[in-house]
Amino acid sequence: MLPPLQCKDTPKWLKQQRMFSILIQDRLIQYHEIMKNISFQFLVVIILLCGCKDDGSITTPTDPDVTVSTIYGVGVNQKSVLSWNVAATSHATRLMIYRHTVPLYAEGNATHIAEINLSSTAPTLSFIVDSTLTNGTTYYYTIVPEALDPDGGIKKGEYKTTAIIPFDPASVPTSLIKYSEHIQPIFNGGCAMHGCHEGASVSGQHKFRKSSHGGSTFSLISWANAMFGTDDVAQIVPYRARKSHIIQHVNSDTAVAPVAQPSMPPGFTFPAELRDLLVRWVDDGAKNDDGTVAYSTMPVRGWGYVTNQGEDITAVIDLDKNKIARYITTGVENTVTSPPHSPHNVVVDWQNQYYYVNLIGGNKLLKFRVTDNAKAGELSTGLSSPAQVALSRNGDTAYVSNFENGKTNISLVYTPSMTKISDLSDPAMLKPHGISITPDFKSVLVMNSLSDNISIVRTSDNTMRATIPVSGNVPALPIGYVYQYEPYQAAITPDSKYAFITCRKSGEVRVLDIDSLRIVDSIKVGTFPLIPAITPDGQYVFVANRNSNSVSAIKVSTRTVEYSDDSVGVEPHGIAVSKDGKYLYVSCENLGVSDPPHHPTIGAKKVGFVKIIEIATRSVIASLEVGNFGSGMAVTH
């Protein structure tokens, strides 16, 4: 056996081998460290790609105090308009804005397009415009909030992302506007996504909570939400863009529509091209993709109608949803450039086939179909300030009062052809206003305002049965007589025995026994009482007291005021009871010291209101804005 080698005896070749082994070991250690680093980076990538929330935010640590609340915007004609909101409590000192073409944001796949300095007391920009884009392409925009440390470091907060698809609205014909393709993207990017009107959660985008709008919620997440929602305000009224609040809030030109505050979306002026697209969509019915127009079928509770005397429109109300379903032109198209024809009252036939609107300023009677609100006829001659209309059982005869100074007659109209049959005159009928038919359809009562009496007409032969003064001090003929009571309109009990007649000047309700032809009672109510209405069971008569801003509830059995409701709004005029007797609908003129609208508006007349009251609880459950000077009120049977 050979003796062991000593170091000094180590052959040269072995030394070289050991040195080579050490070199290999060093290289292996370096390789191991490299692989460890690569594995860590790969793990980070996996976390970034797989560890995201469903709203697009990343689970890696971010500073919770460095925040941006919202990002929103719209796309039009090869550009995107973007804005944002930063809460006052945020520690962010700047916003870094990126554009990318894939849903998930990462710095490596995004283009930095703007930096917004928030450190100044008033940031110079509240929006940016990203131009020279390609129409029809989806662009994603991400805002990353950042804060600079005193030592020069950067803290980043959770980012927000939205998607925008620019397009040319003018290139889309009205007939080809598709809700999901042209309208919903505007709502998603410019309205629903900024936190006011609830955004959809899509890949790489942030989902915002639903927040309040006028005390309730109004969502633009879908067509159904936009059309029906939960808000009393008429946000979208099919075929009537000017009266749709969503148009008023994105509009900045009073020649197009009224302009409501606050301007929407906040941060920038909504592009006129997109506004005009929305206007065309609404005026064409605000249709869903399948052509559905909201409020096209008869509600279970029926329709309500309120005439707007100062604006020549009649509002149609869905009584199931308590929403404005339509605005129907009942007079001139533009009451700014032309004097209004003043639709004063509305009445529905007993078969729910037609409703009739009398134009007290235009001397006309208009006929509309209940099913689709299409105009079905018009009488434009032979009437003098028609104030009220009563219909026969089959609806073929309309009795119309002529509320003009010096007039002593009512007119009879054959409604199938909308032609005048004749006038029925009596020198004791001075300036007749109210007109009502008894539930047995045997008699028509005419309230003669300046002669303080009631005329009763037999419907069997349309002849005068009697004229009854509302008080013993009223003469048979009103020659030289100065009126003291001013009978206005009547509500008649279901058994056709009693009429409760409002007297506008004296502030009372006179009770007429129709069989005995005499006044049997007088009930003091509020000031300037106008229209009365009776419940289907005949237990209560409700009276709209215009000048005391109240409604009096008269118990029929005792002929006393059981209570007075002063929460009905300003200048209540018309009144109607639902066919199930549960709800009271009160139209309010709102002309004087008025209730404010839902939002301040320029370029529009004062709004009227319809107050919906639950009779059992005596509470107002809805307040609907309608057109100027809410007057007549009716509901389907």
Average pLDDT over residues 118-144: 86
Q: Where do the DSSP E strands lie in 452-539?
A: 453-458, 463-469, 487-492, 498-503, 508-513, 518-524, 529-534
C-alpha distances (whole Å) from 114 to each of 86, 135, 510 are 16, 21, 75
SS3 327: strand
**Confidence tier at 149 by pLDDT (50, 70, 90):** confident
Neighbour-count burial of 464, counting CB atoms closer than 10 A to its CB (0-12 exposed, 13-18 middle, 19+ buried): middle
Q: What is the DSSP letter of 47?
A: H
User: What span, in angstroms and rounded, lies between the C-alpha atoms of 599 and 429?
Assistant: 45
CATH 2.60.40.10 assigned to domain 70-164? The reply is yes
- Of residues 63, 48, 55, 67, the one with CA closest to residue 106: 48
Q: 310, 629 in Cβ contact below 8 A? A: yes
Q: 398, 383 in Cβ contact below 8 A? A: no
Which of these ranges, 136-150, 363-377, 409-423, has the smallest mean pLDDT? Answer: 136-150
Q: Note the pLDDT tens digit of each residue in 318-328.
A: 999 999 999 99
Is the pLDDT assigned to residue 343 strictly greater than 50?
yes
Neighbour-count burial of 415, counting CB atoms closer than 10 A to its CB (0-12 exposed, 13-18 middle, 19+ buried): buried
Delimit the domains of the chain by residue range.
70-164, 169-283
498: its two tokens: 């009693």
The length of the chain in residues reads 637
User: What span, in angstroms and rounded, lies between the C-alpha atoms of 49 and 56?
Assistant: 10
- Of residues 521, 568, 526, the one with CA closest to residue 543: 526
Average pLDDT over residues 448-466: 98
Query: Which residues is 486 bridged to in the sheet?
Result: none
Helix (H) or strand (E) segment spanning residue 626: strand 619-626
Query: Which residues is 190 bridged to in the sheet?
Result: none
Q: 575, 543 in Cβ contact below 8 A? A: yes
Which of these ranges, 121-125, 328-332, 468-472, 583-587, has the smallest mean pLDDT? Answer: 121-125
Per-residue model confidence (pLDDT) at position 178: 97
Per-residue model confidence (pLDDT) at position 219: 82
Q: What angle do CA 162, 166, 171 make, to 5 degrees?
A: 150
User: What span, in angstroms and rounded, lies between the C-alpha atoms of 489 and 573?
Assistant: 11
Residue 488 CB neighbours (<10 A): 23
541: its two tokens: 């008569």
Q: Outline where 565-625 has alpha helix (H).
A: none
SS3 176: helix
Per-residue model confidence (pLDDT) at position 121: 57
User: What span, in angstroms and rounded, lies between the C-alpha atoms of 580 and 614?
Assistant: 12
Per-residue model confidence (pLDDT) at position 44: 34
Q: Which amino acid is at 291?
A: G
pTM, two decimal places: 0.85
Q: Where do the DSSP E strands lie in 25-110?
A: 70-76, 79-85, 94-100
Neighbour-count burial of 511, counting CB atoms closer than 10 A to its CB (0-12 exposed, 13-18 middle, 19+ buried): buried
Q: Note the pLDDT tens digit of each residue in 78-109.
A: 999 999 999 989 999 999 999 999 999 998 99
C-alpha distances (whole Å) from 607 to each of 109, 597, 600, 601 are 52, 7, 11, 10
CA 365 to centroid of chain Cα atoms: 29
Is the pLDDT assigned to residue 207 strictly greater than 80?
no
- Of residues 306, 205, 317, the one with CA closest to residue 587: 306
Is the pLDDT assigned to residue 46 strictly greater than 90?
no
Helix (H) or strand (E) segment spanning residue 246: helix 245-250
Per-residue model confidence (pLDDT) at position 55: 40
Identify the residue whose tokens are 């797989």: 50
**Confidence tier at 214 by pLDDT (50, 70, 90):** very low
In the chain, the percentage of residues whose pLDDT exceeds 70 is 85
Better pLDDT: 487 or 4: 487
Q: Please list, residue by residue across 590-603, b when 16 or more beta carbons sit within 10 angstroms of its beta carbon and e when fewer do.
A: bbeebbebbeebeb
